[in-house]
Amino acid sequence: DTEVTQTPKHLVMGMTNKKSLKCEQHMGHRAMYWYKQKAKKPPELMFVYSYEKLSINESVPSRFSPECPNSSLLNLHLHALQPEDSALYLCASSHGRVADTQYFGPGTRLTVL
């Protein structure tokens, strides 16, 4: 089973709202990732967690706040977003050690009004 699940599928929020995106995997992977993808562009890495510790932060604005409560779950907390933050947010996971292919979830399509 190579499934990564993400909820919600779609999210519409105002610029003053606080919301969270959730990601879950049960493959025993120890690395989890958040990516942002705009239309007709490749995914852009935002954050990497390795063994539940934040290992890469690609200079993402503080209005995005990641959290890794355990090895199977990854959250992305959103606050005071801008309309330009509207995008497809993708979660991925990988083994975390050898042969590190990343498996992506279906994404959450976020619209900021």
Partner 1 sequence: QKEVEQDPGPLSVPEGAIVSLNCTYSNSAFQYFMWYRQYSRKGPELLMYTYSSGNKEDGRFTAQVDKSSKYISLFIRDSQPSDSATYLCAMSAGQGAQKLVFGQGTRLTINP
Q: Which residues bind partner 1 (CB under 8 A)?
A: 2, 4, 6, 30-31, 33, 40-43, 45, 48-50, 55-56, 58, 88, 90, 94, 96-107, 109
Tokens representing 59 are: 């200079």
- Whether the Cβ atoms of residue 72 and residue 24 lie closer than 8 Å to each other: yes
Q: Given 3-state DSSP classes, what are the helix, strand and coil percentages for the chain, each rounded to the nearest 5?
A: 5, 55, 40
Residue 100 is inside which H or E element, if any?
A: none
* Nearest to partner 1 of 83, 99 (CB atom): 99
Distance of closest approach, residue 79 Cβ to partner 1, in angstroms: 24
* Nearest to partner 1 of 9, 84 (CB atom): 9
Distance of closest approach, residue 19 Cβ to partner 1, in angstroms: 20
Distance of closest approach, residue 80 Cβ to partner 1, in angstroms: 26
Place of tokens 């105002």: 14
